Amino acid sequence: MSQDILINWSPQETRVAVVEQGAVQEVHLERTLERGLVGNIYLGKVSRVLPGMQSAFIDIGLDRAAFLHVADLMPNIAAKHAAPRASAPAAGDTGQAAGANGKLLTPNPVLPIERQIFEGQALMVQVLKDPIGTKGARLTAQISIAGRLLVFLPQDNHIGVSQKIPPAQREALRQRLLQLTATTDGSAAGGFILRTNAEDATDEELTDDTAYLRKTWLRIKEASTRQPSATLLHEDLNLMQRVLRDLVGADTHSIRIDSREQHGLLTTFAAEFMPDTVAKLQHYSGERPIFDLFNVDEDIVRALSRRVDLKSGGYLVIDQTEALTTVDVNTGGFVGARNFDDTVFRTNLEAAQAIARQLRLRNLGGIVIVDFIDMVREDHRDSVLGEFRKQLARDRVKTMTGGFSQLGLVEMTRKRTRESLAHMLSEPCEACSGKGVVKTARSVCYDILREILREARAFNPREFRVVASAKVVELFLDEERAHLAGLSDFIGKPISLQSEGSMTQEQYDIVLL
């Protein structure tokens, strides 16, 4: 299915919309201030070695020196750049293995750090953790470069497979990749880890990803020979570059970007690493904002709402919780043209298409439970389930769907790839703390009366002052006035009221005077 990609760039934020058949299917965004350093590769300079902590501080050009532990050193690199006084690792200590998650495992035993590196040494390192507070970044000398399908391990020759790929397929995938990555002399040039989304990849896709990763590594190595210490050699791809790497395919019609400068930078990147995409890049210079072309902003607003209206008059209610996402289908105002069964069937068919789109648009992952409207006929249930699976097949993220359960529910899973759109754009409401509801003003009034009675039994102040929201105070002065006066007479203390505009309806304070 043909798709168009729209890129809206501004200094503070980059937004990407994937459009298919005139409808927005996916939204990706990246904010400049929230981009971290993880994945960046630097030519660092060892500023201090701490034998007692078996660690070192590395200057990579940031405000604070970064931290490198001996377990994150690469023995063969350390031996190559070590001081003359350092002895070479013992036989067998330079071998390395990579786990299925792509993390290089440190050989055992490991030489003391003071015998591997020295102050003033230039060392290629990669950021594992961003700086936090007063702590500098955490580094590793075990370089890895992530692609769309593979993780490249340039200092290793191991071929690993993600543990999330079924065991029956792992060995076949490993053998395929061994053949595809072997050099002309039959040897391997660098190791690879097959990522989960490489499970169904073709040989052509794996070859393209391999070529991209090796070319990236050659550029990094070349830069390390001519750049001074404390220099950034490779920055993890930004959103626009990841779009070219991960989203663009043969079915992509165009990639339009509304910044002339960024269009030029992206064209340069594409020409070097993905030449097939250059012809699809276009600079959008229209007067209307690029996202207005397909009402993307309106779709984003609707994607933050619980309710999604269907064209027929039915609607969906989508609730995202910590453990799972639930989708409820309702007929709403759709009464149909013939009979109730036909109405339900048509609503469920439309809902199946809408739900698949909303999962992509909102980037909902994990377990999803769909409550379609109950259908009596078996053929109707089969048709709705078939349509649902057909629409989900268009999703680039892996999904698994079961049939209708005994309770009439459809259970499915969608792989989590990033934060959902709601989590990226919104935060829990200060008034309800994410519950979606707040106590009524009357309930809060009664909470306050009980609290005053509790405090009166424990303390003996001159007066109680209630500080609460304007709506709660107004209720005390009107309908709840008799109850407040009755409590005051019962405890023998005056109770005064103070309205506080900054308080939410559930918030209050009782001051003892």
DSSP class of residue 432 equals: T
DSSP state of 200: T
pLDDT at site 364 = 92
Domains of the chain: 3-35+238-296 (3.30.420.60), 41-233 (2.40.50.140), 306-425 (3.40.630), 441-512 (3.40.1260.20)
CB 293 within 8 A of CB 330: no
- Per residue in 70-102, pLDDT (tens digit) is 999 865 444 344 333 333 333 333 333 333 333
d(CA 275, CA 281): 11
Q: Tens digit of pLDDT for each residue in 456-483?
A: 999 999 999 999 999 999 999 999 999 9
**Average pLDDT over the chain, rounded to an integer:** 86
The dihedral over CA atoms of 263, 145, 421, 265, expressed in degrees to the nearest 10, equals -10
pLDDT of residue 157: 84
401-453 confidence digits (pLDDT tens): 999 998 889 999 998 877 888 888 888 887 777 777 889 999 999 999 999 99
Looking from the CA of 10 toward its CB, the CA atoms found within 13 Å total: 9
Which tokens hold the place of 135? 């702590």
55 Rama class: left (phi>0) / alpha (psi -120 to 50) / beta = beta
Name the token pair of 305. Answer: 């709402």
How much is the pLDDT for 184?
54
Distance (Å, whole) CA 135 – CA 57: 11
What tokens does 191 get? 């190791």
**Residue 377 clears pLDDT 60, i.e. is over it:** yes
User: Is residue 164 very low, low, confident or very high in pLDDT (cuts 50, 70, 90)?
Assistant: confident
Letter string b/e over residues 402-423, b meaning 16 or more CB atoms within 10 A of that residue's CB? eebeeeeebebebeeeeebbbe
What distance lies between CA 242 and its chain's CA centroid?
14
Mean pLDDT of 259-288: 92
Residue 79 pLDDT: 39
Residue 310 dihedral angles phi and psi, to the nearest 5°: -95, 155
Q: Which residue has the tokens 């055992």?
A: 108
386, 393, 321: which is closest to 357 by C-alpha? 393
What would the mean pLDDT of 227-232 be, rounded to a whole number? 92
**pTM as predicted:** 0.72
In the predicted model, what is the mean pLDDT of residues 311-330? Answer: 90
Residue 186 predicted with pLDDT over 90 = no
Q: How many CB atoms lie within 10 A of CB 6?
A: 22
Average pLDDT over residues 319-330: 90
- Alpha-carbon distances, residue 108 vs 71, 92, 99, 151, 405 (angstroms): 10, 9, 15, 24, 51
pLDDT reported for residue 499: 93
Which pLDDT score, from 0 to 100, does residue 162 have?
Answer: 85
Please state, in angstroms and rounded to a whole number, the distance separating the CA atoms of residues 503 and 318.
Answer: 30
User: Tell me, what's the pLDDT at 98?
Assistant: 36
Instruction: Provide the pLDDT for residue 89.
Output: 32
Comparison of pLDDT for 187 and 22, the residue scoring more: 22
